[in-house]
Structures are given as structure tokens and as C-alpha cells.
Amino acid sequence: MSLFPLDYCLICHEIIRPNISWRSIFSTENQVFVCPDCEKKFEKIGPNRCKTCCRDLQLLDEKFQQNEICNDCIRWEEDQEWAGYLEKNTSIFLYNDFFKEVLAKFKFRGDYLLVKYFANNLKETLQKINSDCIVPIPLSNERLYERGFNQAEALILEAGYKPVSLLTRLHAEKQSKKSRTERIHISQVFQLDSHQDVEGKSILIVDDIYTTGSTLRHAAKLLKEAGAEKIQSLTLAR
């Protein structure tokens, strides 16, 4: 019988060999959920990022950015309909092919245990953001029944925080099936819970991916118009 319990990678299911040291014997370190080979396939966003949406500016031609802000965010703020609603988005990972594959296992194929790895990364960032409440982007009732869980809510809970359900969502076509233009120009899909008071509050919205920023801005706009003072967002990937 092994002194050290074996962990299995939640992605490739290979055995994760324990790092045996005196510290590991006498401490209660966090469980390891992903093997080193899978870990290195995740790419974290570097320090050269858009101040508003967290886009990795190293991957963006200089003509599409100004003063550390990408042109997409500049356009959002130049549009009077959307200016000033979402103060800042923070993302952790680049949305590369590997991340896309792993997220599909978690989000669409119901591999719920992957939330443990993602939540560990989310928790580190949550600790650095001050807010009065953490709000998950909701799913419609139909989509929730289809998936079995809300991935944003699961991330918050697994990270050790309490999600506050301020919003509900109307059922619509999946965002993943829409073009970029269609995502930007969607009509309002959220409703505010009339029993919740957001007056003067600082709110952090949590979702899995920041793509165009449209979903987060629709949620932020509704909350800001209801009296919230400051809206930020946190997503796993950009």
C-alpha cells in the first residue's frame, strides 16, 4: 500500500506522480488535479494585456490597439449605448485549442469534476478583486436542464464563494452558434430579480469566456441601470 494516495489527471486520466518531500509529508497541500503535461498546454495571459478586456496584446497587431487598450474596447466605449457599463474584465487563460477542448468536456459533455481545476485558478484571482457580491451569468431554464448545471455558478461555489443570483436569462440560440456580429447585436437576454437591491453596490460578474464582451455588457447594463455603482467581470478565458 502506498504512503501517498495517487491522483489522476482530470483531463488525460494518467496517474499524477506525487512530489515526495518532507514538506509534502507534513503539510496539507492542495490536491493536484491536472498532470504536468496537460498543465503546460494551458496558456495564461501575460502582463501585456488590454486594460479593459484583458486581451493579450502581444498577439494583436499594434495598429489594433491604443494606449494598452484594444480597438474592440475603444469601439465599445465610443458607442453611447454601451459606454461606461463594464469597467473591466479580468481573464486568466488564453482561449487556445486545448482550452476549447477541455471547456467543451466541462461545459457541454458534463465532466463536472473539471470545475476543481478551473476553480483553483479562479480563486486566486477572486481574492484580489473587491466586490459586494459575485454574480454568475445565468442560463435559461431550458439550457440548465440540458446541461445539468450552471458552469459559472459551479466555479464560484467550488472556489469557496457564495454566488448571488441577481439575474435570470431568457431562452435563445446558443452563443457558440452565432457569428461575431450576431453576438454583438443581440437583444437584451437578461432580466433583473425584482426582489434584489443593487443600489450603490460593487458587483463582480463571473462567466467562462469573454469573446466579444456582448453578454457581459448586457448584464452589466441591466445592473448599472438598476443602481449598481461599479461592474467588473471575471472569466476563465479570453
Q: What is the DSSP string of 116-157?
A: HHHHHHHHHHHTT---SEEEEPPPPHHHHHHHSS-HHHHHHH
For residue 11, give its domain range: 7-38
What pairs with residue 135 in β-bridges? 205
Specify the CATH number for the domain of residue 139: 3.40.50
Number of neighbouring beta carbons within 10 Å of residue 147: 15
26 and 129 inside one domain:
no
State if pTM tops 0.95.
Answer: no
pLDDT of residue 129: 96
Q: From first to last of the 238 residues of the chain, give the pLDDT tens digit.
A: 344 456 899 999 999 876 655 454 444 455 789 999 999 999 999 999 999 999 999 999 999 999 999 999 999 999 999 999 999 999 999 999 999 999 999 998 888 999 999 999 999 999 999 999 999 999 999 999 999 999 999 999 999 999 999 999 987 656 555 555 666 667 788 999 878 899 999 999 999 999 999 999 999 999 999 999 999 999 999 9
Asked if residue 91 belongs to a domain, the reply is yes
For residue 120, the Cα-to-chain-centroid distance in whole angstroms is 12
The total of structural domains in the chain comes to 2
Instruction: Provide the pLDDT for residue 2.
Output: 43
CA–CA distances in Å: residue 79 to residues 64, 72, 83, 85: 17, 11, 6, 11
Grid coordinates 474584465 are at which residue?
Answer: 89
For residues 105 and 159, membership in a common domain is answered with: yes
- pLDDT of res. 188: 84
What are φ and ψ of residue 215, in 5° steps?
-60, -50
Kindly state whether residue 2 falls inside one of the protein's structural domains: no
